[in-house]
Chain A
């Protein structure tokens, strides 16, 4: 009995300490401890690398650690379907990707819906771009279109998996330019760019991150509003008369049980990283482009716009009904 009493007492004491501890944590300045940052993909992918870019800045500005963990599977769907089952105390955040979180639930029941994702920030995107080898005969987008018009279906373009931003861009571009090209889907940007460098395909629907990483490649045009600061000589599709701005967008979401003030706070924190000139330089040097949409009306507006655009081009691509 005595032993049981002792155990009961210890447990009670521990429970009290825990309760006070938690209450204390909620009151004190967030963040008080390391934040677990779940990446919905394998380590080493672009979603991981960009989160890694944030990591040292987070530590520098907020004095706490961002700790990465990886929950790969189903093209991200496995992790996103579990997001809302995690305790929402702000200490677990998860990377999200567009068009994935719009397209996946629209295609099939994957265990989550787009509106169930509580994004707190969209921090950058990798704009779509047509990439060719340095020694390619195509100097401009017009060269490529002329060739494609003369040889319908013969132009092969490697890119990320079906339903990726690359794929949607290919479909949109074909429609706007009035050409017919063949899209060859690869398991990511690395194998897709390898196929380009190896001369397996005519060109590649890649991203602005391809030329900085793979020597021997150049871009014909980028799907941005304005030219990329790192590539002032590469025109935008808009300049050439094709109204397309697209890419793979990345953001951060929290479980929906996360209190409003912590959502706002996290959104502001990641915006602060986005405002750091050294962070911007590092992102742009590697070919990324900044998006600044912290939690609030800005993000809601941004998401509504993106959702509409993605669903429209996915319908054109025949990916959804």
Chain B
């Protein structure tokens, strides 16, 4: 398939990129790898006049420890994150998520963490060619008023399938968004909207600069399910974070359970997470219960739109959460 025409600009520094975004706003799209953007453009889902490539912005490629934070430049390659001992030790969920993104060839050659967490939501009825979408009414995300995934739905039910987003949300990460002259920091919990058409709270003149993960001394894990072992989006995923109490090492002081690839955004499951507070790390039945609560709460958002069957994906929410909790607990106790 053919890319529509566009103007390609490769700013040589961060300021230059911000200037371009300031000028072109909605007419421009940022290219940070392209595995999401270019495919959508080929399908005619997106026709930006200008592509601003971050290829030359080496300054946005870094992983560093700053006090009790890990800071990751938005343009950092997936391969660099996988290779980082710091990430593996302090943010294992992100390491595990990155290992699953695309394939080795995509991880080291194209894929960036910024690109991964800013990938658009997906749906088997929306991510199709212009030909496929012809001869029927456009769906909500395509500018119409119909949802093909859920009958009579008045809104878009597209799904966020970013591995990185689910893991980072479990890790309590926030991101730094910059526009010419100002910058703001926003929690991922608040960054992901529940709007399938506009899944992020981000302005068209903003650029993602940095991802910040707090080092909280806890352990995290990420599990996902797909049909293939590579080049496949998850059909359900779970990122969890567990922290032991300072006084009793076998007691869970803080827990965060996030489920991905099931709804319009990664969902932080407050009820399931708080259920685990005060529970013991070796309390398998508590993990099972938390996993079931996760499934009950997350399933209400799910629609059949990313492959497999809805029933299976919902059932697997529980399984992925349970597996992730078990792994995080084992690591904590080691």
- Whether both chains belong to one complex is answered with no
